[in-house]
Structure 1
Amino acid sequence: MIRVDTKDRIRELYFKEGQSIRAISRTLKVARKTVKRALADAEPPRYHLTKEKPKPVIGPFLPIIHQWLEEDQQRPLKQRHTTKRIFERLKDEHNYQGSEETVRRYVRLWRQNQPKEMFLPMDFGLSGWAQADWFEAFVELQNTLIKVRVFVMRLCGSRAVFARAYLRENAEATLDAHVHAFRFFGGVPTHITYDNPKTLAAQIFAGRRRKESQYLHNLRRHYLFKPEFCLPYEAHEKGLAENTVRLIRRNCLVPLPKVQSIEELNEQLEQWCLKYLQEYLPDKEATVGELFSREKLSLLALPEAPFEPAIFRPVRATRQALVHFDSNRYSVPVNVAHLPLTLRAYVDRIEIYHEGERVAVHKRCYERKRTVTCYTHYLPLLKQKPNYVLHTLPFRQLKLPAPLEQFINQLAARSSRPPQDIVALLELMDQQGVEAVAAAAGQALLMDTVSVPALRALLPPPAEAKVQIPAYLADCKVHMPAPAVYDRLLVAYGGGAAS
């Protein structure tokens, strides 16, 4: 290879001093081809291999490495070989004796030479198209570190964003998140792009064909939007949603939120989403809010009838008046326990119906193998079997005010028939309300009159039930006729006039 100073000298002799190629070749003792190459290229000379260097250590293993790397192209991104894993497999499975750095150098070179996938720049305009996604995050809920799932939806044109957190990413959370997102935007996007979660895509076929889940079918039928699904392992197809995940993480979840309830966290997320409407977008030369006010014109109108973000299950109660759902058990009134029931599972509650009438409501439990009861469901049975009332699960799960708890303890100690009196007290709580009975129990303790009749005497009389007149009857007026009108009936049937 020609030296740098020789190349510079050739160019000086030719361009400055005007010597011929033959003279320069004779003076510097170099070939004329070398002189011509130096004159044609002003760049410093580079060394070029005429044939590839031998690789005595890693060479025999290159076909194996090639095979693994090629197979990785068809596998999920998070389950592909790292360089370290390739080195470990070569060493354990093929008795490779070389260094990890040699493997690392070759894998890096192989990856650099692979063609990179190219992407199209997108512009949806203010068309009402949206993208949605889920991600996980950690928060401190009541001083306990827990993992939550956060749903995000973003309008592609205006970049308006919505986020809401849930304890679990399930079907009812997905439905509830959509209802809140549509309410936040004041309309329904015309198209929504998703990954392929089982809550929405029950079955994945070749290409973009999907079998919709029943939950998505009900949601789409109510709101009339069109769902679009990404190809498997092609999350970049909804890149705006992926960027939104990072946006929410950086701005809403750093530092770690400390909240007392999931509702408090969702209030913080919604306030940030409203604040983000003031964000200026340089490429659009407008704020998010300005673009959003225009994109709202492209959204579908919200239906007048509300959507029930719940999943429905036919259930049957056990002989303990309990129904099973999601690894937990919930009580129902004993008088309907033998009847066919329908359970509606919401994000925050469980409702149980019989023939369209709600018979039980419970707060949703997200632990496992728990039994949730309500004492009022068992009152008819407790009247028949009062002896073990203190040891029943519905009674032990009661969270009573301190005066009422103290009153029950003294009642159990003083009464001649404690079980019957405690059942009567529970019935009184059902009729008058726990707070009213607790207030009366406090007075009874001060007066040292611990008995159910004394407690009943201290309670105010129940207010008379007010008749609620339906709105459509409010304007109806019935005129009372004078009594003399009925005299005509006596005449008509042969009677005389009233005296």
Structure 2
Amino acid sequence: MGMLAKIRRMHLRDGLSIREISRRTGLSRNTVKQWLRREGETEPKYPKRTQTSVLDAWAEHLESALRTDLHRPVRERRTAKALFEQIRALGFAGSYPRVVVWVRRWREQQANAPRRAAFVPMSFELGDAFQFDWSCEYLFVGGLRRRLEVAHTKLASSRAFWLTAYPTQSHEMLFDAHARAFAAFGGVPRRGIYDNMKTAVDKVGVGKLRSVNIRFQAMCSHYLFEPEFCNPASGWEKGIVEKNVQDRRRQVWREAAERRWPDFASLNEWLAQRCRQCWEENHHPEWPALTVAEVWQDEQARLMPCPKPFNGYVEHQVRVSATGLIHFQRNRYSVPTRHVNAILSLRVYPAHVELVAEGVQVARHARSFERDLTFYDWQHYIELVETKPGALRNGAPFKTMPEALQTLQRHLLRHPGGDRVMTQVLAAVPVHGLDAVLVAADLALEAGRPSAEHVLNVLARLKDGQIAPVETSTPSLKEEPRADVQRYDRLRETRP
């Protein structure tokens, strides 16, 4: 359009001839004449010159691969280098820079392409709703690089958020994440907004119809909030917590990745402190003059009271093996041997597992997320070794006994029948308690020649209060005795 206006000014205003205009502009005279005749026309656009490239035959293959990668996680998408190696193995004879330029242009075209989706800005009242989502992160925990499932709970109005890291996304983790978040927020909002995660929704129906998981529904009933679920593949309906995932990766997880964490407990403790720091540092997007912490204080007054934490365990029915073990997630946990071959209730919590028989807890172990490990409680096998004392010498559970009992066992097993003597000592643990037996074992070892009778005697005296549990002080004399050799001579004197 600029050239057409210039030609019109030169001919109509300055009075130059068509030959002179052609000489100055470099356009042919026929072109100048044609443009001057059509006053309402715009400047013509000529088609770009097409150039053939060795990459044209592979353009369809590359585009198909790039479109496929759009549906993959960002970490799993192929780079231009990987695509070049792939098509070169299929017979591509071009160079790597050509592929890089082509991939860059294709991605720029996709980024600049018009988006049809439009969204309505959302606004929430104080205390009205919270949004929940999971994210996947990687950190060094316990000396290994592990995949973490992080629970994000965010108040939709004040933007206060809470992060908790777990090894998995199972039900017990979900329930624990809600309990921690509500305790940190100081109350419970009236609604909770979720996507259609499997721990909450058993089946997605038409429209907003959902078949909600029974345990998840029990948790919602406990905290008195109403769950709402987004449409499938519509993450923007909970965009506040979706944005929180990206913001925390830039703010919190970058710091966490620079450190090494001994366990999940220390990591979650640091996350709790870091979340509160972010509340003080971040300004509210709708009220920039206020921080998130200041708006949260106003919202806290409008939240429902927070009840006691929901007992969010997951229950399984397990059978006890002949060795007094139950199997769960490729690990084994011990149970008192009187329950061998019985079916018990296994209650799984985020940090521990409990075994219940007829409503009574019979065993408790710290939960492990490793594989192919066995966790013993040696006291579960005391009743069994009373009838099978020979198993005490090489029994795997008894290798976890306290050091005092292991030392006593080594002394007793040196003599014939020492295994039976040791079972008498172990049989006293359920009766007198472990602490009392340990004190008696220490006193017996100090005597130099320990025996079961000695230990049981000390236990009886401890129970009657005749001796102190541990005596370490040495008595001192106020007046030391004097040596008097004349006393002997006086005794030899005969009496008249």
* Common fold: TM-score over 0.5: yes
Correspondences of 1:7-156 after superposition (within 5 Å): 11=9, 19-20=14-15, 23=16, 25=18, 27-29=20-22, 31=32, 34=35, 48-50=45-47, 53=50, 55=52, 57=54, 75-76=71-72, 78=74, 101=98, 103-104=102-103, 107-108=106-107, 110-112=109-111, 114-120=113-119, 121-141=121-141, 143-156=143-156
Q: Which residue of 2 aligns with 1:160?
A: 160
Which of 286, 311, 320 does residue 290 from structure 2 map onto? 286
Q: Which residue of 1 aligns with 2:324?
A: 321
Q: Which residue of 2 aligns with 1:359?
A: 362
Cα deviation, residue 225, structure 1? 2.6
Correspondences of 1:217-366 after superposition (within 5 Å): 217-253=217-253, 254-255=255-256, 256-279=258-281, 280-281=283-284, 283-284=286-287, 285-303=289-307, 306-366=309-369
Would you say 1:386 and 2:381 are equivalent positions? Answer: no
With the length of structure 1 as denominator, give the TM-score of the two structures: 0.75
Cα deviation, residue 129, structure 1? 1.6
Gap change, CA 1:138 and 1:192, over 3 Å in 2: same
Q: Summarize deviations over 1:126-184 as a string: whole Å, max 9, x none.
A: 24322222234444545555443322211111011111222333221111111221222
Contact 1:11 1:38 in 2 (8 A): no
Most deviating of 435-444 and 262-271: 435-444
Gap change, CA 1:33 and 1:295, over 3 Å in 2: farther
Amino acid at match of 2:279: L
Mapped to 2, the partners of 1:123 and 1:287 lie a distance apart of 17
Contact 1:128 1:296 in 2 (8 A): no
RMSD, matched Cα: 3.8
Amino acid at match of 1:241: V
Mapped to 2, the partners of 1:38 and 1:390 lie a distance apart of 109
Mapped to 2, the partners of 1:118 and 1:161 lie a distance apart of 28
Contact 2:383 2:427 in 1 (8 A): no
Amino acid at match of 1:19: D
Name the SS for the 1:302 alignment partner. coil
Cα deviation, residue 57, structure 1? 4.8
Q: Which residue of 2 aligns with 1:428?
A: 428
Provide the aligned length of Structure 1 versus Structure 2.
447
Gap change, CA 1:293 and 1:26, over 3 Å in 2: same
Name the SS for the 1:277 alignment partner. helix
Cα deviation, residue 448, structure 1? 0.9
Name the SS for the 1:245 alignment partner. helix
Cα deviation, residue 336, structure 1? 3.1
Gap change, CA 1:367 and 1:61, over 3 Å in 2: closer
Mapped to 2, the partners of 1:198 and 1:357 lie a distance apart of 31
Correspondences of 1:165-184 after superposition (within 5 Å): 165-184=165-184
Correspondences of 1:374-413 after superposition (within 5 Å): 374-398=377-401, 400-401=402-403, 403-413=404-414
Contact 2:130 2:153 in 1 (8 A): yes
Give 5+ residue unaligned stretches, structure 2: 23-28, 466-496
Contact 1:11 1:39 in 2 (8 A): no
Seq. identity, %: 28
Give 5+ residue unaligned stretches, structure 1: 465-499
Contact 1:25 1:35 in 2 (8 A): no
Contact 1:390 1:396 in 2 (8 A): no
Cα deviation, residue 212, structure 1? 2.9
Contact 1:7 1:38 in 2 (8 A): no
Q: Which residue of 2 aligns with 1:472?
A: none
Amino acid at match of 2:444: A
Mapped to 2, the partners of 1:112 and 1:163 lie a distance apart of 32
Cα deviation, residue 104, structure 1? 2.7
Mapped to 2, the partners of 1:463 and 1:11 lie a distance apart of 121
Gap change, CA 1:147 and 1:92, over 3 Å in 2: closer
Most deviating of 353-362 and 143-152: 143-152
